[in-house]
């Protein structure tokens, strides 16, 4: 990586560079056209554009990568790193979608911005009833698939039919181990064969698939999302607690499974499940904070294990864990904030790590961090900063006092107010509300390419999947409310993006389950 010795030149030929460069010039021309267009309808394209248009439009607002004066020559294009060039191509794809949008008549524009709820639900429900052979690689993650699908459906304010609900509860019960926790698939052998084998082979009983913390989190969140006594009471909390204790390492961290890896994700899934089920105690909490702290890197974000690189998923997990165990003060929140604000790209999406390509799923992992930071801030009575534009903020005022909204919010604020940080995390509305540009565009460009068959994806050009559908929608839900100070008031129309019917259900940002379902579970597990 000796950058001074022309390190960024790869094997690409000049011809390819020339081709890409000409594409970029074309893109830049379009960006200028789009941003000069003063029609207010454009403001709905994305929250990202809203933020740009607020500040007297100029191409300076955009990433210097694509607009900077230094970028006038082929040579400067060639001096970029490979990742920076890939990033430009992604930006180009996204802006191409903006360009298409701009050229459409208003009626088509509004259709393009409409969340295709029915198609998404159809795609999701179909997954619940059957998956193709390509899913063999997810065979050890089936509760995850349940969670991604059920949570997405709940975000869309839809329900699965009672039979499918029963089947899900039954299936997850088969994943629940006799000694607590949930495995990646059904754990027990079929009854008849079981008897034969027990007779023929002298063996101690074991789960055919081991319980695992991540699939335990997925199963518990699935059941909480389904809601109702049957689903909630199917969780064996006593055994689950024992499983969590077994996974607890002497260092304070948690292991993913018996003999498995210790990392921040394991800590989060263990603590999240314990908190949600009301079985969190001092034994489980002990020294978890030390472990998470040891994973905050010099960049400010949190890595999976000590010594590795700060990453969006782990930063969300680490921050949420620290809030849940009431030790968030111990993190360097200023540097964490500084890291996360720089993870958003000019096209509106978030990247997982420095210099990586944006991916729709980080709309939640990174976008959710803003939701948590904002809550930490608002529960401490720090006066939020105005959005910065002055225009229209009067009647829609997101600046109301947020600190005294005690009643009706119990669960959410209770948990979030556990933290007592003295750092003043600023208002990140502007930034976090922009997360959805990629998501929506994924959806719609997908629709155009593929007859609107539902599902969301990483970025234009990729295929849809349940994971990205879940986390793009979760991110969208978070960002629709990111300008709000009062959780119970309805989001601003301009924050929803597209028709107001695009509004998704709110989530509890610490657990990523729909808020109503969280409240039901909270009540259920407080009583029992």
Partner 1 sequence: MDSREDDGGEPLSRMAEWRDVTPLPQDDGPNPVVPIAYKEEFRETMDYFRAIYKADERSPRALRLTRRAIHLNPGNYTVWHFRRLVLEALNADLDEELDFLQRIANSNSKNYQLWHHRRWRYFVVTRSPFLGGLKAMRAFEVRYTVEAILANPNNECPWRYLRGLYKDDIKALVNDPEIASVCLKVINTKNNYIFALKMLLDLLCHGFQPCHEFRDSVVALRASDTDPLDPDLSMAICDILEQVDSLRASYWIWRKNKLSVAAV
Q: What residues numbered 364-423 form the site for partner 1, per CB under 8 A? A: 385, 387-388
Shortest Å distance, C-beta 63 to partner 1: 8
Residue with tokens 């990140």: 428
What is the C-alpha separation between 382 and 417, in angstroms, rounded?
A: 13
Contact 160, 125 (CB under 8 A): yes
What are the tokens at 131? 């998956």
- Residues of span 231-290 touching partner 1 by CB under 8 A: 256-260
Catalytic pick among 465, 471, 479, 511: 465
User: Catalytic one among 237, 311, 343, 517?
Assistant: 311
The candidate with the shortest Cα–Cα distance to 319, out of 336, 298, 343, 299, is 336
- Which conformational region is residue 258 in: left (phi greater than 0), alpha (psi within -120 to 50 degrees), or beta? beta
Q: Which residue of 18, 197, 406, 449 would you call a contact of partner 1, by CB under 8 A?
A: 197
- Confirm whether 14 is a catalytic residue: no
Instruction: Indicate which single residue of 69, 391, 408, 451 sits in contact with partner 1 (rule: CB under 8 A).
Output: 69
The answer to whether 356 is a known catalytic residue is yes
283-342: which residues touch partner 1 (CB under 8 A)?
Answer: 297-300, 307-309, 337-339, 341-342
- Write down the catalytic residue from 248, 265, 353, 459: 353
Number of chain residues interacting with partner 1 (CB under 8 A)? 101
- Which residue's CB is nearer to partner 1, number 184 or number 509? 184
The yes-or-no answer on residue 10 being catalytic is no
Which of the following is catalytic: 21, 182, 291, 362?
Answer: 362
Select 139 or 229, whichever has its Cβ closest to partner 1: 139
What gap in Å lies between CA 57 and CA 61, rounded to an integer?
7
Closest CA to 275 of 328, 236, 237: 237
Structure tokens at 90: 């992604």
The answer to whether the CB of 153 falls within 8 A of the CB of 197 is no
Per the CB < 8 A criterion, the answer to whether 301 and 313 are in contact is: no
- Please pick, among 151, 356, 446, 508, the residue that the annotation labels catalytic: 356
Is residue 208 at the binding interface for partner 1, with CB under 8 A as the rule? Answer: yes
Query: Of residues 52, 325, 438, 495, which one binds partner 1 by CB under 8 A?
Result: 52
Complex with partner 1: residue 427 or 465, whichever CB lies closer: 427
Pick between residue 200 and residue 407 the one whose CB is nearest to partner 1. Answer: 200
Question: Do 510 and 415 touch, CB atoms closer than 8 A?
Answer: yes
Please indicate whether residue 36 is annotated as part of the active site: no
Instruction: Return the residues of window 483-522 that contact partner 1 according to CB under 8 A.
Output: none
Tokens at 76, concatenated: 């400067």
CB 369 within 8 A of CB 301: no
SS3 6: coil
**Could you tell me if 209 and 234 are in contact, meaning their C-beta atoms sit under 8 angstroms apart?**
no
For helices 237-247 and 213-226, angle between their N-to-C axes, nearest 10 degrees: 150
Structure tokens given for 326? 């009431």
From candidates 10, 18, 19, 68, binder to partner 1 by CB under 8 A: 68
Select from 365, 468, 373 the least CA-distant residue to 425.
373
Whether 102 is catalytic is: no
Active-site residue, selected from the candidate residues 343, 468, 508, 517: 468
CA–CA separation, 96 vs 370, rounded Å?
Answer: 28
Task: State the nearest-atom distance from the C-beta of 209 to partner 1, in Å.
Answer: 5
Q: Out of 91, 263, 359, 427, which residue is the one contacting partner 1 (CB under 8 A)?
A: 427
Q: Is 126 a catalytic residue?
A: no
Minimum Å gap between C-beta 341 and partner 1 is: 5
Nearest-angstrom CA–CA distance, 33 and 511: 42
Indicate whether 11 belongs to the interface with partner 1 (CB under 8 A).
no
Q: Is 257 marked active-site?
A: no
* DSSP at 457: B
Nearer to partner 1, 81 or 119 (CB): 81
- Contact with partner 1 (CB under 8 A) among 25, 43, 89, 189: 189
> For the purposes of burial, counting CB atoms within 10 Å of the CB of 83, is it exposed (0-12), middle (13-18) or buried (19 or more)?
middle
- Catalytic member of 48, 439, 458, 466: 458
Contacts to partner 1 from residues 115-154, by CB under 8 A:
127-133, 135-142, 145-146, 149
Indicate the residue among 303 and 477 with the shorter CB distance to partner 1: 303
DSSP state of 139: G
Give the closest residue to 247 by CA, choosing from 218, 278, 212.
Answer: 212
Instruction: Work out how close the CB of 480 gets to partner 1 at its nearest, in angstroms, rounded to a whole number.
Output: 17
**Binding residue for partner 1 (CB under 8 A) from 23, 79, 100, 393?**
79
**Tokens linked to 495:** 């924050």
Taking the complex as a whole, how short is the minimal distance between the CB of residue 18 and partner 1, in angstroms? 21
Q: Which is nearer to partner 1, 15 or 38 (CB)?
A: 38
Which residues are designated catalytic?
311, 353, 356, 359, 361-362, 458, 465, 468
């Amino acid at each position: 990586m000796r950058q001074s010795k022309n390190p960024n030149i790869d094997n690409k030929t000049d011809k390819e560079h020339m081709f890409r460069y000409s594409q970029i010039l074309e893109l830049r021309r379009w960006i200028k056209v789009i941003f000069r267009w003063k029609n207010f309808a454009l403001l709905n394209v994305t929250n990202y554009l809203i933020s740009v248009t607020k500040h007297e439009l100029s191409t300076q607002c955009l990433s210097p990568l694509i607009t900077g004066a230094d970028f006038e020559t082929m040579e400067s294009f060639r001096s970029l790193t490979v990742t920076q060039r890939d990033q430009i191509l992604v930006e180009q794809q996204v802006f191409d979608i903006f360009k298409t949008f701009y050229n459409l008549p208003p009626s088509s524009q509004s259709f393009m911005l409409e969340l295709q709820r029915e198609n998404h639900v159809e795609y999701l429900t179909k997954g619940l009833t059957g998956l193709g052979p390509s899913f063999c690689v997810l065979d050890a993650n089936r509760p995850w698939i349940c969670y991604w699908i059920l949570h997405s459906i709940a975000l869309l304010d839809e329900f699965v039919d009672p039979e499918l609900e029963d089947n899900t509860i039954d299936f997850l019960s088969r994943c629940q181990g006799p000694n607590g926790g949930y495995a990646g698939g059904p754990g027990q052998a079929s009854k008849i064969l079981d008897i034969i084998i027990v007779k023929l082979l002298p063996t101690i009983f074991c789960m055919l698939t081991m319980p695992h913390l991540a699939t335990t989190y997925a199963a518990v969140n699935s059941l909480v999302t389904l809601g109702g006594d049957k689903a909630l009471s199917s969780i064996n909390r006593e055994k689950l607690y024992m499983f969590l204790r077994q996974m607890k390492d002497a260092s304070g961290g948690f292991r993913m499974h018996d003999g498995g890896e210790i990392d921040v994700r394991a800590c989060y899934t263990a603590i999240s499940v314990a908190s949600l089920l009301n079985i969190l105690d001092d034994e489980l909490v002990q020294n978890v904070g030390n472990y998470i702290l040891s994973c905050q890197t010099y960049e400010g974000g949190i890595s999976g294990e000590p010594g590795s690189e700060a990453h969006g998923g782990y930063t969300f997990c680490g921050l949420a864990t620290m809030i849940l165990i009431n030790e968030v003060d111990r993190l360097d929140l200023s540097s964490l904030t500084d890291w996360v604000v720089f993870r958003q790209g000019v096209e509106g999406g978030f990247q997982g790590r420095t210099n990586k390509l944006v991916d729709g799923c980080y709309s939640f992992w990174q976008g959710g961090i803003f939701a948590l930071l904002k809550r930490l801030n608002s529960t401490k009575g720090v006066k939020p900063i105005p959005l910065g534009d002055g225009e229209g903020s009067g009647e829609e005022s997101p600046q109301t006092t947020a600190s005294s909204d005690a009643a009706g919010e119990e669960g959410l604020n209770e948990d979030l107010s556990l933290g007592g940080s003295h750092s003043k995390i600023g208002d990140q509305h502007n930034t976090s509300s922009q997360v959805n540009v990629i998501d929506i565009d994924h959806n719609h460009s997908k629709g155009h390419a593929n007859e609107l068959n539902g599902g969301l994806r990483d970025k234009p050009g990729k295929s849809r999947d349940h994971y990205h559908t879940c986390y793009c929608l979760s991110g969208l839900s978070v960002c629709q409310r990111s300008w709000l100070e009062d959780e119970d008031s309805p989001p601003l129309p301009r924050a929803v993006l597209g028709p107001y019917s695009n509004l998704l259900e709110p989530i509890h940002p610490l657990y990523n389950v729909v808020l109503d379902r969280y409240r039901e579970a909270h009540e259920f597990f407080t009583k029992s």
